[in-house]
Amino acid sequence: MRNFKIVLQYEGTRYKGWQKQGKGEGDSSSSASPENTIQGKLERLLSRIAGKPVEIQGSGRTDAGVHAYGQVANFHMDTDDTPEALMEKINSYLPEDIGVISVEEVPERFHSRLNAKSKTYRYRVLNSAVPHIFERRYVYQVPEHLDMEAMRRAAILLTGSHDFKAFTSAKKGKKSTVRTVDSIQIDRVGDEIHFTFSGNGFLYHMVRILMGTLLEVGTGAKKPEDMTAILESGSRECAGPLVPACGLALMEVRYS
């Protein structure tokens, strides 16, 4: 069977996230309300095109309400279509808040999750008291003054390989919570502040809890130096709050 890698954009606002509900990954036999997840929508559509069940593998989950500019997924399918024709077919069936922006045929063993080397997420903060009508679905509004310099110092302390147990909502398990954050870049763009996180992988809610913590540094509620102690604590209560999903977008997934 041919293996196709696709790059996807979606506005997450009305979805329950990437991953189909119900049983775990790789089990498509029983899934509750697949229509409300991006993965469920795509599998239904691809199965209709193929005339038999097709499973799609994403590079990772995005949570309910989180957007994607460059989510990557792959699926195996028997088809005579060129990648271009397949892309057109898929887009013609997709709702207007999901779009495929590229399709390419890849070696059979390519796996969008297992082969992913690093990912980039961006969190957009609207740092203004004036609401932004047209971008409101994609930003989180924080009108308070935010100390850029303090946030940047905190970001440096959070960069690198650490146990990020304090920065996840995941239940305690046996899996490692050590991750490597390659960079956290903080840029002022007009009346917005963009926080760009790159790394080899992120735990459940990790970017949004890092964000909540950085914003506490920005307002002065926490000091940059506190980051080290929070990492060492391994305790969720020491980190900042979980910020809303709407500001977050998966920008890019890189492969070697």
Residues annotated catalytic, as ranges: 63
- For residue 78, give both structure tokens: 């028997």
Please state, in angstroms and as integers, the Cα–Cα distance from residue 31 to each residue in 17, 61, 71, 117, following that order: 14, 16, 22, 29
User: Using CB under 8 A as the criterion, what x/- string covers residues 79-108 for binding a copy of itself?
Assistant: ------------x----xxxx-x-------
> Is 121 annotated as contributing to ligand binding?
yes
- The interface with a copy of itself within residues 223-242 (CB under 8 A) comprises none
The two most distant CA atoms of the chain are separated, in Å, by 59
Name the helix (H) or strand (E) containing 122.
strand 116-126
User: Using CB under 8 A as the criterion, what x/- string covers residues 29-68 for binding a copy of itself?
Assistant: --------------------------------------x-
Buried b (16+ CB within 10 A) or exposed e, 215-254: bbbbeeebebebbeebbeeeebebbbebbbbbbbbbbbbe
Site size toward a copy of itself, by CB under 8 A: 18
- The interface with a copy of itself within residues 125-164 (CB under 8 A) comprises 130-134, 136, 138
Q: Are 123 and 142 in contact (CB under 8 A)?
A: no
Q: Please report, as a single letter, which amino acid is at residue 200.
A: N
Q: How many residues are listed for the chain in this entry?
A: 256
Kindly tell me which of 117 and 136 has the beta carbon lying closer to a copy of itself.
Answer: 136
Q: How far is the CB of 130 from a copy of itself (least distance, A)?
A: 6
Q: Is 189 in the site for a copy of itself (CB under 8 A)?
A: no
Q: Are 168 and 230 in contact (CB under 8 A)?
A: no
Q: Is 114 in the site for a copy of itself (CB under 8 A)?
A: no
Residue span binding a copy of itself (CB under 8 A) among the ranges 4-12, 15-23, 70-78, 105-113: 4-12
Residues that bind a copy of itself (CB under 8 A): 9-11, 67, 69, 91, 96-99, 101, 130-134, 136, 138
